[in-house]
């Protein structure tokens, strides 16, 4: 597979990821929450592929820091996909008592570790994007700030309207970065 093809697939994945995170927030307000949960699962799933393309497009400029940030982001995304799978297909079929036992029991540290890894990874990756200067710094700021709100949503620190805005900011940043990555792919195609 050529580098140009990889970039293009990452661009499509990034646009889908952005659409799914925004759509997931809209669908979360429905009486049946499963469609929103499924969209929430698909967003980080497609973001895995976008993150690879973004990293490859800036790996020289971001250096070791960018590599570490990418690894943490990627690991966090994998764990987030697993958590969202639990939410989309398992949690919604359990009684509130069992959910409480799972989330307060021995699994609680796993949930916290997963979200913490993702939170640190997304902040470091956003900083690596700002530092490298290949992609939009405004999109990096939207990505970091928006995901802080989205990741902290289970804590109840923010009202739902803040989470809606945060998810919208993340969706916009993912689509924006996808457009930036497409431009990098075009330049890469011209130079080869």
pLDDT in tens, 22-33: 999 988 878 777
- Separation of alpha carbons 192 and 142, rounded Å: 32
- Do 180 and 140 contact (CB within 8 A), yes or no? no
Read out DSSP for 2-71? -HHHHHHHHHHHHHHHHHHHHHHHHHTTSSS-HHHHHHHHHHHHHHHHHHHHHHHHHHHHHHHHHHHHHH
Give 192's pLDDT tier (boundaries 50, 70, 90): low
Look at residues 119, 178, 121 and name the one whose alpha carbon lies nearest to residue 149.
Answer: 119
Length of the chain: 192
- Separation of alpha carbons 45 and 174, rounded Å: 13
Place of tokens 């620190």: 157
For 157-187, what is each residue's pLDDT tens digit? 899 899 999 999 999 999 999 999 999 888 8
Output the pLDDT for position 32.
76
For 35-76, what is each residue's pLDDT tens digit? 889 999 999 999 999 999 999 999 999 999 999 999 999 999
Strand, coil or helix: 95: coil
Q: What is the DSSP letter of 87?
A: I
- Separation of alpha carbons 151 and 149, rounded Å: 6
Output the pLDDT for position 144.
97
Q: Identify the residue with better confidence: 21 or 3.
A: 21
* pLDDT at residue 191 is higher than 80: no
User: Helix axis angle, 34-85 relative to 108-132, nearest 10°?
Assistant: 90
Output the pLDDT for position 138.
97
For 81-137, what is each residue's pLDDT tens digit? 999 999 899 988 899 999 999 888 888 899 999 999 999 999 999 999 999 999 999
């Amino acid at each position: 597979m050529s580098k140009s093809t990889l970039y293009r697939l990452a661009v499509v994945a990034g646009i889908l990821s952005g659409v799914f995170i925004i759509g997931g927030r809209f669908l979360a307000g429905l009486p049946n929450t499963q469609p929103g949960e499924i969209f929430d699962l698909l967003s980080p799933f497609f973001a895995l592929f976008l993150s690879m393309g973004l990293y490859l497009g800036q790996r020289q400029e971001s250096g070791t820091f960018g590599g570490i940030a990418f690894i943490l982001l990627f690991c966090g995304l994998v764990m987030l996909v697993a958590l969202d799978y639990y939410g989309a297909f398992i949690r919604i079929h359990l009684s509130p008592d069992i959910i409480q036992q799972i989330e307060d029991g021995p699994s609680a540290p796993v949930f916290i570790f997963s979200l913490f890894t993702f939170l640190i990874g997304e902040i470091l990756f956003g900083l690596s994007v700002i530092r490298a200067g290949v992609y939009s710094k405004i999109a990096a700021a939207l990505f970091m700030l928006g995901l802080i709100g989205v990741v902290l949503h289970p804590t109840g620190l923010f009202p739902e309207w803040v989470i809606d805005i945060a998810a919208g900011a993340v969706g916009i940043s993912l689509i924006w970065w996808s457009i930036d990555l497409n431009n990098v792919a075009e330049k890469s195609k011209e130079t080869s």
